[in-house]
Amino acid sequence: MSENSEIKDGVIKTEGPKENYQSGFTWRVGLAIVYSAVIIQPAAIYLYFVTNQWFIGAVLNTTIVLFAVFAKLADNPLSKQEVFMLINVTSTALGMEMIVLLVFNYYLRHHPIISSQIINGVPLTALIPDWFAPAYFGPLETLLNPVFILPLGLLIITALLAKSTDISLGIVFNYLYTKVEVLPFPTAEVEAERAKALTWEDKKKLQVFSISAIIASFAGLILYFFPLVFDITLIPIPWFDFTPSVEGFLNGATFGIATDIIFFVTGFILPMSVVVSILIGSLFVNFLVNPLLVANNIDIGWEKGMSLIDTFNNSQLNFWLPWTIGLLLSSALIPILRNPKIFITTIKDLRKLSRGKGEELEGGAPKLSVLFGFFVLGTLGSVAVAWLFIPDLSQQMIVILIILTLGWSFLSSLTMAYAFGITANLPVIPYVKESAFVAANAPIGGQIWFIPLVISQGGAGWVATFKTADLTYTKRGSLIKAHFLASFVAWIAGIFWVSALLSIAQVPSVIFPAPFWPLEVGKIATFVTNPTAVIDPLIIGIAFIITLFLYFLEWGTILPLSVISFSVGTITVIPYAFTTFLGALFAQILKTRMENWNTNRAVILAGVGAGVGIVIALATFLSLIKNTIALPL
């Protein structure tokens, strides 16, 4: 911590002379963006195809730390503005979700679950529009096909509109909650200190990082390198499945241990209350209640000999889906309802803000009137795109879309930013669009269910990002420019890398299992064809009462309980929850034996991400070369 910093009420407060804002968008940051997209992105894509988890946080540390280390070794350390920029834009450079979504949408449209749904005598597959996913043309082996131009173009337009909405809301609410009403934003303070720490003035961190990377690289060799390059599987991916061992005395139960070391070290970072609550939620659903349901002849889609993932997916679709939606909705809403002053206070502050002169904000942001213009452009632009692709939209549905995109984006970002500024938690409310469509009696199997909409929940995250930019004296304009550059580089690299991986094997497959894709297809099919079976007011009401009771336990006792984490646990497979818990237990041992644990645990995660990421990237390159050589001329 710097000499001018102190800890007050658990939040790092920084005092001292005000500095001049710097850009931070240097040639080294630009090179890091390209490096992340070209070298590290295939590892992130591969990890997602294997585990269905976005390890962006762990993998992006690879780029951040490597560039910080090399700059230090070159006796030209990164500035805090550059490090802060790296923390933000390298994650964007790894952001291949939109490109992966093209693959998933193609998989979804032609999945047997979708084709088996008949609506008015027509298979649902035939009702899904080509701008969502192209008609079947065989196994998907590349995205470099003209049939993907329209779906990709629609996703890019939506992504740009979403960025316009999120960034504009982020700057407005940053001004509101850091200038008009000053909130602490504890995570922003911590991120600012992290940016200063990663200038690598402490050589001991280099040692911790190097040792972690070496250990993780050996694990990566066994887990990923041998299967990709030599087709030799020594340890199963993504978990050891012990479900057959519990069958017989706990029919319908599942159990396993995840094999990826990143899940283990993630337990070093998460609070113990979060880890324990996720594990309890997962065990409650998958190990305790499922056997009780099977014993009482309640259909959860289980059969003898079923694997862990099939049991989990079937039970979620056949029984748990409306319950988990109710739990997640209640977990996000109750803390907001507990403090209704959030709405009253923020509305008053917005009235003060509207009476302001719209002056230039610190760090190079545009005027407030311009920001509101970009917000309207992003939200109503999304409605216009929907109307363009679905010209027969009813007036009622257009009104619903305007309320969702314009109204809900503003209100949810407003309340989420307020909660995040005080508690460092983002109370994301799920399934808002689907619930609104159910209330509006959206047509069964209609195209409206497949149109991408801008319903912003990212504005609150940008509020904290701009707060950190202020704490590190980084110009907002340079951050936004770097973000858009990283996005375009990521999309271009993503098309190439996803196509390259598809040339190795299909998704899902033995090499790329994508274990939860069938579950996601089942969820979407249920929403589109029978939405009232999912959004059940009675079940949501019961879940609300259960969640309220759990919150009373959390607020009124010292139990290590996090209700929102428990709710997340109900949709988490046991291997991921259990392995993260083992990591958290091991962290308690390291905590007593390692100095500066709170800092070093982040360095360990960075080292593990670097070790695993580099091994996967190398294995991917070699596998592509091997498959290219094997292709017939």
Measure the CA–CA gap between 194 and 464, rounded to whole angstroms: 14
Which residue carries 């079947």 as its tokens? 136
Instruction: Confirm if 102 and 155 have CB atoms less than 8 A apart.
Output: yes
Q: Mean pLDDT over all residues of the chain?
A: 80
- Residue 146: the pLDDT is 92
Largest Cα–Cα distance in the chain?
73
What is the Cα–Cα distance from 407 to 341, expressed in whole angstroms? 19
How confident is the model at residue 495, as a pLDDT?
92
* Whole-number pLDDT of residue 8: 40
Q: How far apart are CA 45 and CA 623, in angstroms?
A: 15
Rounded distance, CA 522 to CA 173, Å?
Answer: 37
Q: What is the pLDDT of residue 152?
A: 93
**What mean pLDDT do residues 322-333 have?**
80
Please give the pLDDT value at position 151: 94
Asked if pLDDT for residue 221 goes beyond 80, the answer is yes
Smallest CA-to-CA distance from 572 within 273, 255, 282 is with 282
Query: Which residue did the predictor score with more confidence, 211 or 68?
Result: 211
The position carrying tokens 């249920």 is 526
- Residue 311 falls within a domain, yes or no? yes
Q: Provide the pLDDT for residue 48.
A: 83
Encode pLDDT of 553-595 as tens digits: 888 776 677 887 888 888 888 999 999 999 999 999 988 888 7
Q: How confident is the model at residue 289 (pLDDT cuts 50, 70, 90)?
A: very high
Distance of CA 47 to the CA centre of its chain: 14
pLDDT surpasses 70 at 517: yes
* Mutual angle of helices 80-93 and 56-73, in 10-degree steps: 140
Read off the pLDDT of residues 226-281 as tens digits, 9 standing for 90 and up: 887 888 888 888 889 999 888 888 899 999 999 988 889 888 878 888 889 889 99
Query: Does residue 15 lie in a domain region?
Result: no
Q: Is residue 139 part of a domain?
A: yes
DSSP class of residue 239?
E
* pLDDT value at residue 15: 42
* pLDDT higher at 457 or 240: 240
Please enumerate in sequence order all residues whose Cβ is within 8 A of that of 310, keeping only pairs 6 or more positions apart, or say none: none
Q: Using CA atoms, how far apart are residues 19 and 471, in angstroms rounded to an integer?
A: 10
CA distance 167 to 170: 5
Q: How far is Cα 484 from Cα 57, in angstroms, rounded to an integer?
A: 19
The rounded percent of the chain whose pLDDT value lies above 70 is 82
Residues in the chain: 633
In this prediction, residue 193 has a pLDDT band, given cuts at 50, 70 and 90, of low
Helix (H, G, I), strand (E, B) or coil at 38: helix
Q: Distance between CA 626 and CA 230 in Å, rounded?
A: 10
Instruction: Please state the domain count of the chain.
Output: 1
Q: What is the model's pLDDT at position 59? A: 57
> Is residue 356 assigned to a domain?
yes
pLDDT at 352: 59
How much is the pLDDT for 9?
A: 38
pLDDT for position 424? 54
What is the predicted pLDDT for the residue at 107? 94
Query: Picking from 45-54, 83-92, 125-134, 341-350, which range would have the lowest pLDDT averaged per residue?
Result: 341-350
Please state, in angstroms and rounded to a whole number, the distance separating the CA atoms of residues 411 and 173. 11
Residue 512 within a domain: yes
Please indicate, yes or no, if residue 365 is contained in any of the structural domains: yes
Q: What is the pLDDT of residues 7-59, one digit of tens each?
A: 343 333 444 445 678 888 899 999 988 888 888 788 778 878 877 766 555 55
Say yes or no to pLDDT of 363 above 70: no
- Domain assignment present for residue 3? The answer is no
Two tokens at 484?
Answer: 């858009």
Domain extent for 64:
23-630
The structure tokens listed for 184 are 């602490």
Which amino acid, residue 347?
Answer: I
Assess contact for 554 and 273: CB atoms under 8 A: no
What per-residue confidence (pLDDT) applies to 575? 93
Per-residue model confidence (pLDDT) at position 14 = 41
DSSP sequence for 296-313 = TT---S--TT--HHHHHH
Q: Is 241 helix (H, G, I), strand (E, B) or coil?
A: strand
Task: Using the predicted structure, report yes or no on whether residue 309 has a pLDDT greater than 70.
Answer: yes
Q: What is the pTM of this model?
A: 0.75
Backbone angles phi, psi at 423, to 5 degrees: -105, -10
Is residue 342 within 8 Å of residue 415, measured between CB atoms? Answer: yes
Q: Can you name the residues that pair with 241 across neighbouring β-strands?
A: 256
For 341-399, strand residue ranges (E) read none
Distance CA 619, CA 116 (A): 38
Q: What percent of the chain has pLDDT over 90?
A: 19
pLDDT band per the 50, 70, 90 thresholds, residue 358: very low
Is 16 inside any structural domain? no
Burial label for 329, CB within 10 Å (0-12, 13-18, 19+), is: buried
